Amino acid sequence: MNRRQFLSTAASATTLLAASPPSRAADPTPKPRIPIGFLGATYSHGPDKIRLAMSSPDWEFVGVCETSDAGRQTCDNLGAKLVSQDELFQRARVVAVESDIRDHAAHALLALKAGKHVHLEKPPATRLADLQAVVALAREKQLLLQTGFMWRYHPGFRAIFAAVRQGWLGDVFLVRGYISNNLPPARRLEWAEHKGGSMFDLGSHLVDATVRLLGKPNAVTSFLRRHGKFEDALMDNNVAVLEYDRATAVLVNTALQAGAAPPRSFEVLGTNGTATLRPIEPASLQLDLTSPAGPYRKGAQAVSLPPYQRYEGDLAELAAAVREERALTAPLDEELLVGETLLRLSDML
């Protein structure tokens, strides 16, 4: 490695570290733990978040309020204490909503009315009026509201956001996102409950990144299709096109892709180059620039990324925000815009 390459690599690492969520290693001073409890444990992301809350030095784990047999079994498997709703709201300072999608907004409103900061699992609401009510109440009570779009804290996405906002890619004219899985038949009825199908659930991560990157689209056109040979109504093979003044975003989602590791990717094309995150997990980010920009040299190059664990950044940033050390990545207006756009392209407005 020559001197120029070394300086470029060092600058790139500095840029990524500056955009990263807070690290306990960077600030070893012990801080009081923040009481957190969970309202529900049936959403697929819930168990991992409960594990993190139980083991993190940031959090004092209060317990989980869960009434369903499936949710209680999950808590038993995790060794997570079950608590009543009264005890949850009495002891917790932060409530994480990890219930079924149909209950997300209602449970968030309960927690906000009780005066609690809220981590709200995605998708945040199935109706725009409910989403608006959640955001309005958080604003009125001056409480934190963080939606659980897990890739907000992914170092590859953060590097792309930094490159776009600093103008290093030039003028962005195209975003392409792809997310897939091979959804087990037993879970198809759960996702089929909502008109947007797998785009509304799985595809929401791409919607979040695109809208926060490009803003409110001028128009949204969706192609929601059921192509799987199953006896249900799940829209399982979907495309959404978001139109902007001088850019287009194309998001593709399917729940039918076979294979051990269905591919997921996010690509941003600008007049000075392209950033390609493929695969998203484990993260591999490539930049290809027409001319040097920021810490990056001209030409194709791999970007070194720091380690990443799902949900860790969410909870670390939320703890820092509760302590008033930093603001959340997404302000309330942005949470509302992301949720509204997701409902629109899911044909749920």
For 117-153, the pLDDT digits (tens) are 999 999 999 999 999 999 999 999 999 999 999 999 9
| pLDDT digit string, tens, across residues 47-96 | 999 999 999 999 999 999 999 999 999 999 999 999 999 999 999 999 99
In a domain, 329, yes or no: yes
Q: Which domain holds residue 139?
A: 23-148
Looking at the structure, do residues 164 and 123 belong to the same domain, yes or no? no
Is the pLDDT at 334 greater than 50? The verdict is yes
Q: Are 25 and 307 in contact (CB under 8 A)?
A: no
Looking at the structure, do residues 136 and 275 belong to the same domain, yes or no? no
* Residue where a domain stops, chosen among 148, 182, 209: 148
CB atoms within 10 A of CB 43: 24
Q: Are 175 and 276 in contact (CB under 8 A)?
A: no
Angle at 188 between CA 266 and CA 129, to 5 degrees: 70
Which residue in 324, 320, 327, 328 sits closest to 58, CA to CA?
A: 320
pLDDT for 260 equals 77
4-8, 45-49, 69-73, 205-209: segment of lowest average pLDDT = 4-8
Looking at the structure, do residues 220 and 312 belong to the same domain, yes or no? yes
| pTM, 2 dp | 0.91
CATH number for the domain that contains residue 282: 3.30.360.10
Domain tally for the chain? 2
Looking at the structure, do residues 166 and 144 belong to the same domain, yes or no? no
CATH number for the domain that contains residue 107: 3.40.50.720
* Structure tokens given for 342: 């997701």
pLDDT for 30 equals 79
Is the pLDDT at 302 greater than 90? The verdict is yes
Burial state string for 65-87 with b = 16 or more CB within 10 A and e = fewer than 16 = bbeeeebbebbeebebebbeeee
27 Ramachandran zone, left/alpha/beta (phi>0; psi -120 to 50)? beta
Is the pLDDT at 11 greater than 70? The verdict is no
For 255-345, strand residue ranges (E) read: 265-270, 273-277, 285-289, 299-303
3-state secondary structure of 174: strand
Looking at the structure, do residues 98 and 234 belong to the same domain, yes or no? no
Amino acid 247 reads: A
Q: Are 342 and 251 in contact (CB under 8 A)?
A: no
Angle at 181 between CA 157 and CA 341, to 5 degrees: 55
28 pLDDT tier (thresholds 50, 70, 90): low
| pLDDT digit string, tens, across residues 153-182 | 999 999 999 999 999 999 999 999 999 999
State CA 212 to chain mean position distance: 11
In a domain, 102, yes or no: yes
Task: Indicate the pairing of strand 273-277 with strand 285-289.
Answer: antiparallel
95 has which bridge partners? 37, 118
Classify burial at 28, counting beta carbons within 10 Å of its beta carbon; exposed 0-12, middle 13-18, buried 19 or more.
Answer: exposed
Looking at the structure, do residues 193 and 301 belong to the same domain, yes or no? yes
| CA distance linking residue 276 with residue 289, whole number of Å | 11
CB atoms within 10 A of CB 116: 24
115 Ramachandran zone, left/alpha/beta (phi>0; psi -120 to 50)? left
Looking at the structure, do residues 179 and 327 belong to the same domain, yes or no? yes
Q: Are 38 and 64 in contact (CB under 8 A)?
A: yes
* Residue where a domain stops, chosen among 97, 125, 148: 148
Looking at the structure, do residues 179 and 306 belong to the same domain, yes or no? yes
pLDDT for 335 equals 98
Looking at the structure, do residues 222 and 279 belong to the same domain, yes or no? yes
279 pLDDT tier (thresholds 50, 70, 90): very high
Looking at the structure, do residues 225 and 123 belong to the same domain, yes or no? no
pLDDT for 345 equals 98
* Residue where a domain stops, chosen among 148, 181, 196: 148
* Structure tokens given for 301: 């190059």
Quote the mean pLDDT of the chain.
Answer: 93
Please tell me which residue, 266 or 3, carries the higher pLDDT value.
Answer: 266
- The maximal CA–CA distance of the chain, rounded, in angstroms, is 62
In a domain, 10, yes or no: no
* Structure tokens given for 194: 């909502």
pLDDT for 298 equals 98
pLDDT for 6 equals 38
Give Cα separations from 203 to 3, 126, 160, 219, 251 (angstroms).
Answer: 42, 15, 19, 18, 8
Is the pLDDT at 26 greater than 70? The verdict is no
